[in-house]
Amino acid sequence: MNILEISDLNVSYGTSQVVHDVSFSVKEGEIFALCGESGSGKSTILRAIAGLATEWTGAISVLGRARERGLSARFASECQMVFQDPYASLHPRKTIDATLSEPLRIHRVAGNHGDRIEEVLDSVGLDRRFRFRFPHQLSGGQRQRVAIARALMLQPRLLLLDEPTSALDVSVQAEVLNLLKKLRREQGLTYVMVTHSMPVISFLCDRLAVMRHGRVVETADVEQLKADRMTDPYSQELVALSRGRPDQKSEKTQ
């Protein structure tokens, strides 16, 4: 089953159209990457799905239901977004407990909220003693775990991840990627992830779409990426750059 279907999506900010005729679908349980040049509209696509960018035409369907523009309570319990910068995305004056209980309160979730908070802290590998700390008392990796925990509070099936590890130290990136892999396996989640990193895609993702100038130039299985069998010249250039081969011709002639 396709958990997400996007057809002929065009997104604008005012008079400036930044996404053009984008179509792709994501199966339940899949990890789908959006990569490509800076400013090509990757985050904007996530924002349109999440309801944060509202000037779009085309069709977005999540769990078989057509997505309306803007934020909606039901949608929030099906799909959540995790942002790049855990420093900016957590409220500095709220304890982790307050941050994690907020979605439960807003959505009037029944049951013991403390138990649910501890369960989610466990699942993202954060010690329960962090529960009553503030964001500034946590490391960058721990804060991103809190941001992931917040996204999981309502038990969504689809997570939109906007460069979830790029603001973290290299040593911490692998821990968060392993956590995302574990959560997908344990909770049957589906991810759509914006990333600039081909190694991250190779490690974590099943399929990818390469974007340039607001358009998808190629959609491929990760096996094609690993085997150097991308077909679009721009995709090939990205792969070559990520392998430290910016100019293959000169390498061959050396």
Ligand X SMILES: Nc1ncnc2c1ncn2[C@@H]1O[C@H](COP(=O)(O)OP(=O)(O)OP(=O)(O)O)[C@@H](O)[C@H]1O
Q: How far is the CB of 162 from ligand X (least distance, A)?
A: 8
Q: How far is the CB of 114 from ligand X (least distance, A)?
A: 37
Kindly state whether residue 15 participates in binding ligand X, applying the rule CB under 6 A.
Answer: no
- Compare residues 40 and 101 and give the one whose CB is closer to ligand X: 40
Kindly state whether residue 199 participates in binding ligand X, applying the rule CB under 6 A.
Answer: no
Tell me the torsion sign for CA atoms 3, 22, 161, 202.
Answer: positive
Stretch that binds ligand X, among 34-42, 54-62, 68-76, 148-156 (CB under 6 A): 34-42
Q: How far is the CB of 38 from ligand X (least distance, A)?
A: 3
What distance in Å separates the CA atoms of residue 127 and residue 124, rounded to the nearest whole number?
Answer: 9
Q: Structure tokens of 35?
A: 């990569």
Kindly state whether residue 13 participates in binding ligand X, applying the rule CB under 6 A.
Answer: yes
Q: Which residues contact 111 (CB under 8 A, 6 or more apart)?
A: none
On the 0-12 / 13-18 / 19+ scale of CB atoms within 10 A, 28 is middle
The one among 4, 6, 32, 44 contacting ligand X by CB under 6 A: 44
Kindly state whether residue 212 participates in binding ligand X, applying the rule CB under 6 A.
Answer: no
- Asked if 41 and 18 touch (Cβ cutoff 8 Å), the reply is yes
- Compare residues 42 and 150 and give the one whose CB is closer to ligand X: 42
Residues linked to residue 62 through DSSP beta bridges, in sequence order? 4, 65
Residues that bind ligand X (CB under 6 A): 13, 18, 38-44, 194
